[in-house]
Chains A and B, each alone.
Chain A
Amino acid sequence: DAMVIQNPRYQVTQFGKPVTLSCSQTLNHNVMYWYQQKSSQAPKLLFHYYDKDFNNEADTPDNFQSRRPNTSFCFLDIRSPGLGDAAMYLCATSAHLEAYEQYFGPGTRLTVT
Chain B
Amino acid sequence: RKEVEQDPGPFNVPEGATVAFNCTYSNSASQSFFWYRQDCRKEPKLLMSVYSSGNEDGRFTAQLNRASQYISLLIRDSKLSDSATYLCVVDDQGAQKLVFGQGTRLTINP
Instruction: Report which A residues bind B (CB closer than 8 A).
Output: 33, 40-43, 45, 48, 88, 90, 97-98, 100-107, 109
Q: Is the CB of A106 within 8 A of B103?
A: no
Compute how far the CA of A41 lies from the CA of B46 in the bound complex, rounded to whole angstroms: 18
Give per-residue flags for B69-110: 1 if the beta carbon is below 8 A from chain A beta carbons, else 0: 000000000000000000100010000111011110000000
Q: Which of B43, B96, B97, B102 contacts A106 (CB 8 A)?
A: B43
Q: Is the CB of A104 within 8 A of B44?
A: yes
Q: Is the CB of B34 within 8 A of A100?
A: yes
Q: Is the CB of B42 within 8 A of A107?
A: yes
Q: Which of B44, B46, B49, B91 contacts A90 (CB 8 A)?
A: B44
Q: In the complex, given contacts A88-B41, A104-B45, what are 8 additional A-B residue pairs having Cβ atoms less than 8 angstroms apart?
A: A40-B103, A42-B100, A42-B101, A43-B87, A90-B44, A100-B98, A102-B46, A106-B43
Q: How many residues on chain B are close to A (CB under 8 Å)? A: 19
Query: Using Cβ atoms and an 8 Å threshold, which residues of chain A touch B100?
Result: 42-43
Compute how far the CA of A107 lies from the CA of B41 in the bound complex, rounded to whole angstroms: 9
Specify the chain B residue showing the minimal Cβ separation from A35: B100
Q: Is the CB of B97 within 8 A of A48?
A: yes
Does B12 interact with chain A (Cβ within 8 Å)?
Answer: no
Query: Using Cβ atoms and an 8 Å threshold, which residues of chain A touch B49?
Result: 101
Q: Is the CB of A104 within 8 A of B102?
A: no
Query: Using Cβ atoms and an 8 Å threshold, which residues of chain B touch A102?
Result: 46, 98
A109 to chain B, nearest CB (A): 7
Query: Using Cβ atoms and an 8 Å threshold, which residues of chain B touch A41?
Result: 102
Q: Is the CB of B42 within 8 A of A101?
A: no
Q: Which of B32, B46, B96, B103 contacts A42 (CB 8 A)?
A: B103
Q: Which of B43, B46, B101 contacts A101 (CB 8 A)?
A: B46
Query: Using Cβ atoms and an 8 Å threshold, which residues of chain A touch B32?
Result: 100
Q: Is the CB of B41 within 8 A of A42?
A: no
